[in-house]
Structure 1
Amino acid sequence: MSGQTEETPVPGSGTGTAAAAPVAAVPEVPGTTIPSPAGPPDTAAVRASRSAPPVNGTSVARGGSAVRSTAATGPGTVLGNRYRLVLRVGSDLSAGAEFWRAEDTILQRDVGVTVLRRLPADEADEDPEGTARAGEMILRALRSGGFEHPGCARLLDVLAAGSPGVPSDVLGAAVTEWVADHSLTEAVAGGLIKPLRAARMVQQLAAAAEEAHGRGLVLGTDHPQRIRVTGDGRAQVAFVLPRPGLTPEDDVRGLGAVLYTLLTSRWPLSGSDAARAGLPSPERDEHGAPAPPSALRPGVPVELDAVCTAALGAHGAGPVVGRVHTAAAVHRMIGEVVREDDRAAIFPPEHDGVPAEPGDVWQAKTRRAAPQPPDRRRKLLIGLGVLGAGVLVVLGYLGVQVGAMFGESRGPAIVVGDNAAAGAPVPTTPGGPAASVAVSGVSLEVYDRTGDRDNPADVERAVDGDPATSWSTFTYKQQLPALKPGVGLMASFASVEQLSRLSVRSPSAGTVVEIRSAPSADAELGETQLLATQTLGAGTTTISLADSQPTQHVLVWITKLSGGGDANVSQIDELTFYRAGL
């Protein structure tokens, strides 16, 4: 990407100058002529050699050096003697590609690795090893080696089948910079995104597609797990090696799909890709077209509705009125929407269903003030209590003096103190001191620091007020903490709350939960404070939080799952937090 420094040459690493590592041949693709480059790509070097068929588990590379084959590539496998696979974060079955977070063991940094696998269709296509398909995909990666843009991760290295250190079950791999922040699913799991912010998030991605198509390249924006969102709010192509048959028109539909997802939290293209990414599919009309974003969410501007509809169109249906076929047109349409929003910033915006953010120019009159830190709020309450007691003492003294001056009062006596101890009934009016009210507006997200989050798309069902809907963990073949230390739900409130209790409605008897207060929604587990531990029964379990301090974030941390054997899973139908009576 622009502004990034070139990769440091490391002897034997496969990346460097022409003097450090020559460019070797990639497997031949029938009907394809590989141009002779004047030198190696500036941003990616290819460590490939044409190999003979494996003999007794060993493939012989050009020059007579033997390369030991390794089957069942998975976490911990090192590719090219350099890139250690850490966590698989997605896959594109139509391309035979897996997406991994990996570690560059030489430069000690995270990288993204796209690994190519054999497909069952390869045998039917008279390509039983899949080498022709992989060769074409590797060739495309080579041609994109000099392409850099903020809308896509920079290509660092390319590994071809038969290269030293590449297992026999890997047909090729491409290494890119790691986009460490959020997957597309995680970006929309936290709640609705403002429509104009979603448009700005896709703007750079559309610009990258426009420039790539001008160079004869495709990006692969039509798969949700190839897209990640950076910390500064840019949608970016994070994984390369799209399927061979991909065209620029598929990229255009992908741009419309990414914008559609940011607006509605639904993926409008392949239903199988959506399910694999943990995203629901939208409803469709009789022609198979997805419902427009404004039909699923109020407040979406008609201009963004038009961008999505025009970009998605009807795949393979021929000319469609109002459809756009180029990334340049999508980029121009989104740019016009963003520029118009900048010009109209002096007028109050229409309500789009999302609360105003602290940095927004226009704030709703009902917007609550930013929450005070718990310690400061507690001190303020103590000070107000002392001040109130002092005022009562002064008023009582003045009342006595006034009574002495004007004679004995004939009204009913006022008893100051404990009415119950004096035999008088304690008033219990709704919302009074004896009442506790459920906290509203609770946002919820899956808390997991070790791997894929459990069903993040369903998490809001646990606080939607409907016990018929629910969230559940994955089904684990082993009990916690064999595979991970626990699974959590992080609840966040609009402001700091003093809680009295928590009710958990769940059919998963035997589930053990820890209730923890957290300084922030993304705090580490060690930064949280244990409030209570409870084993859930079947039905509603009430957990007392009477001794807790005011907090804005509460973690429901599951340390033991319900079930047993190879079917360990816990389900939560509803979480209800109750505010202490004031």
Structure 2
Amino acid sequence: MGQSNDVPARDVPPTPPRLAAGGLVAGGRYELLRQHGGMSGQAFWEARDRRLDRTVALTFVDPLPGEQPPGSATGVLDRTVALTGVYSDGLARVLDVIRGRAGGIVVTEWIPGQSLAAAVAAPDPDSAVRAVWGLSDAATISEEKGLVLGLDSPDRVRLTEDGRAVLAFPGVRADVDSRSDVRGLGAVLYALLTGAWPMDLPEGSDAHGPVDGRPGAAERDDDDELVDPTVAGSGVAPDSAVLAMRSLDGTAVSSADTVRAMVASELGSVPGSPSAARPAAAGVGGTAGSGQAPGQSAGQSAGQSAGRSAGLGSSTGSDLGTTRGADRGANSGAGASGDASDSEHWFTAAEPTDPDVQKRRWQIMAGVSAAAVVAIVMLAVWMLGALGGDRNDTPLSAQLDAIERAAQASRESATASPQAEGSGDGSGASGSDNEDDAEKDDAAEKKADASPIEVSTVTSWQPAASNGNAENSGSAPNVVDGDPSTSWSTDTYRDQFGTGPGAFKPGIGLMLTLDEAVEVRVLELSAEEDIRFEVRASESANPTSLDDTTRLGSGRVSDGEATVEIDAPEEAEYILVWITRLGTAGPQAYNATVSEVELLG
């Protein structure tokens, strides 16, 4: 009698099935066509849905090597199913999630066009920024919902026939986060600009060979630093290169929302952007899909996104495509009953408009258009007359910033002059100097009498209604660690803080939590940039808006230092340093870095 094997079969991790073109999976429903890459625990395939006769994308999710099934595969499937609540042209629609004992399959709509590798074989820097708009929108919406897109490999990305980058093979791993999505956005943009991939490939990528190959590794200098796209590529605009490098850095830009705003700013106006046309709820008929991307016609948007939200919602079950109506849309030929002819009646025709009503509408539109044209011409003439004298290559945003600084200095000078004239002692400038000396002596005396106030925690904060997020909160405690070499920084913005139409947000703050409620009489701040800020008291660590705080004073950093003396201090347990104006880091580049904040009471 032969020797028996005492090791239970379940102790041996099963080997994932070998996939090959022509093979059938999911009970014979899907026929594998072409492999598009993958990594450890995931494989990306183009396949044909034999039941509905359409092309789909399949992401096979298996346990990682050495794991007992289902291992990490369950988490990947759960996180990917959650993306059905993200409506954006930058993310392929999830049609179905098939779960098995050892893993599962994510079925998504097929994105016609070409792989990222094929697209960057002949880079087109002029269209690169526009291409990542939808992808940055998808990453932003995911971040807003507390989700992660999972932009970790060039294999996941395809470009549509009209040149939009789309996450075509979603499969959210456990080791990715929103910051890695930002880096992924930068990597896709870098690849589109230069034709090379700037990040390390995920582990196990070599075992999966995409049919189009992969972009080559990006060039690095002698210090192992990534070569700037303007050097690595040909005809790359400096602004596009800055956007890619800052996103890849992972610290200069920490939010996908900031990347999307920078992309929008780079493109100028972004009419009908996906964020402006997101549906309020899933399961609504009609065209409640994602909006129209820059440079995309209304017809393209409707044809590619119709039915994107049909019955998806936040389902966590399998067969999302058939039982929940998600198979309907531009890439599907099945209605609720699976009849291909039903797709022709997806939209309901509107009743014809009365001719007289239509005529009046055209007259009104013509009048408004004529007035708008006149206004635009007058504005253009005025601008040419005002600015056309001498050519100035300084970016307009920097010019406006300089004008604002000059105006502020003028206002401060006008405020100081009457005080000097009203002294009544006839001393003139000498009297003003004496007053300044007296104020400095008072400040020194007040500081000498004050004692340091202990700060327990520091976080970044912004009003709930502000765009983006309160970035880099993890490094906020650096401002009270007593070490000037450590600091907290904002993201880098293309426009100055403010409340005008061009401003991304009104400001950002550092919320200091004290050990107990005390009166703060002096605040000292050290920063690298010439920033402006307010000192405010708050009743909580996370107020909803700035109106929930009390303004105690304001300051402006000069030569790296600022001291704010609070004339009417209030007892408070929470002190907000609210930054209202950033320093200028370069052409159309604004940020702030704060190294130390000290409170005295």
Q: Which has the larger share of helix?
A: 2
Calculate the TM-score normalised by the size of structure 1: 0.41
